[in-house]
Structure formats: C-alpha cells, structure tokens
Amino acid sequence: MASIPAATAASRYAATALGQPGEPAGAAAGAAMGAGGPSGFGALLERAVTGTVDAARQSDRAAMDAIAGGGDITSVVTAVARAELALQTTVAIRDRVIQAYQDVMRMPI
C-alpha cells in the first residue's frame, strides 16, 4: 500500500470529516472555525478522534444494514473506505506527534 504524506492525509480527512469531500481542506476548516467552534491543536485532535469514531460507527451501521438485507453493497464499501481513511489519518497524526515529542526530548538543554 502506498504511503500518503501526513499533510495530504490530514487535508483529505478534514474535508471528509466535515462531509464535504470535494471542498479543499482550508475552506472546510475555515467553515468549522466560523461556526463558533473552539480553535487550537487540542480541539483539532478532539475533532479528528471524534470523526474517526463516528466514521467507524457509520461503517458498522452500514454493514449491519447490509447483513440484514436493508442496505446496498456500495454504501457499505463507501462507509468502510471512509472509516479506513479516518483511522489511517489518525494513526499518521499520532505517529507524527510521538515523533515530535521524541525529537523534543532528545534536544540538549
């Protein structure tokens, strides 16, 4: 599987998490901040994790509907792909944060 740069993954996730896959991430993030939401890195991480959990729940719901005979396979595949992208993005961000922390800890005082 090809590796996606963290900046690209984050911008794709931001657009997808806000339900606007065709819109650039900068515009999506600006729209979110204009809605009176909190700003800052902690708030960004909280929204990212919440979006990942929501995508996983939607994926599970779509799969259960398909198993019960009520959903179509296209919606299941789309929901699973969104959940996978959200999880990969969250893991990439986590890895970058851990790497940055380790780099700071290695700095001489």
> pLDDT (tens digit, 9 = 90+) per residue, 25-83?
444 444 444 455 677 888 888 888 899 999 999 999 999 988 888 878 888 899 999 99
* Res. 85 pLDDT band, cuts 50 70 90: very high
Can you tell me the distance from the alpha carbon of 87 to that of 102, in angstroms, rounded to the nearest whole number?
A: 22
- Output DSSP code: residue 70: -
Q: Report, as an integer, the average pLDDT of 83-102.
A: 92
CB half-sphere exposure, 78, CA atoms < 13 A: 9
**Is 0.85 topped by the overall pTM?**
no
In degrees, to the nearest 5, what angle opens at C-alpha 31 toward C-alphas 26 and 37?
Answer: 115
Reported for 92-101, long-range contacts at CB under 8 A and 24+ positions apart, including other chains, are: 92/4, 92/6, 92/9, 92/10, 93/6, 93/10, 93/45, 93/48, 96/6
